[in-house]
Amino acid sequence: MNSSLMLAITTLLFGAAAVGYLAAWIFRKDALGRISSGALSLGVVASTGGIVLRWIESYQIGYGHAPLSNLYESLVFFAWSIAVLYLVVEWRTRNRVIGAFVAPIALLAMAYASLSPNISDRIQPLIPALKSNWLIAHVVSCFIGYAAFAIAFGLGIMYLLKGKGKDVRRPHSFLARLPSPDSLDDTILQMVKFGFLFLTIGIITGAVWANSAWGRYWGWDPKETWSLITWLVYAAMLHLRVFLSWRGKMFACFAILGFMAVLFTYFGVNLLPGLHSYGSME
């Protein structure tokens, strides 16, 4: 079995999990929720196998680098990170409804990687700038942070739905099954803290890497600039929470806004010329 097949299986399993979580939430079927958790867990196993196989295949063809060097590989790792981190959140909160808002994000990342005609799954040689021992530390740190922000985004949407639902107090309403506003608010905070920590590590390791690759720690490349903007958005979010006790709707909206900055940093900046333009290569 090769990596492409394993990752195709991952996409199917993530799809089954996303649909299952949504159905379990809407139709109040706890059994479907348990099945969806199982499907997502199997998807994590399959994607882990696919990533490992792709790494082995890279060595077999003489490249020998971690599968984290282009858009396809980063999307696969992004989806894997979201799924793993979500399963931890699900285990800690004992609430599978969150999966209805998070599993589709992992599915979209995998589906975009697998189905987009503009993205190739070919294993490619590293360009000179990527030939560094800092590759794994930088990319892994950033995408674990991005995954946490993706979950905070899903939780932010849940919070807004909980607040807007007119029938939220009815026991048989599917909105009534959403976690309490206080629980959602606290979990958003935990995800933002976790993501902020790893994004900070990612920026620091990226600066060290940039110094070894280009002879400077910071050069205001578009990717670097937008990474800093994203960091500042979440820094402001945490600052407002600590010093002004921001909670509720505005905090949830900030989580959604922050993830928009993440997406632009990840995808939009690739359209701009810069030293990180390899992030969009096929």
Mean pLDDT of the chain: 90
This prediction has a pTM of 0.93
The type of residue at 278 is Y
Average pLDDT over residues 21-39: 95
58 has a pLDDT exceeding 70: yes
Our measurement of the distance from residue 238's CA atom to the centroid of its chain's CA atoms, rounded to an integer in Å, reads 19
Weakest-pLDDT range from 186-200, 220-234, 258-272: 258-272
Q: Please say whether the beta carbons of 124 and 58 come within 8 A.
A: no
272 pLDDT tier (thresholds 50, 70, 90): low
54 pLDDT tier (thresholds 50, 70, 90): very high
Six-digit token pair at 140?
């892994």
Distance CA 44, CA 13 (A): 9
Six-digit token pair at 167?
């029938």
Q: What is the pLDDT of residue 56?
A: 95
The crossing angle, in degrees rounded to 10, of helices 3-27 and 99-115 is 150
Q: What is the pLDDT of residue 271?
A: 61
280 pLDDT tier (thresholds 50, 70, 90): very low
Average pLDDT over residues 24-29: 92
Average pLDDT over residues 264-274: 72
Weakest-pLDDT range from 9-13, 124-128, 201-205, 257-261: 124-128
- Using a 10 angstrom Cβ sphere, with 0-12 exposed, 13-18 middle and 19 or more buried, the burial of residue 39 is buried
DSSP 17: H
Distance CA 140, CA 175 (A): 35
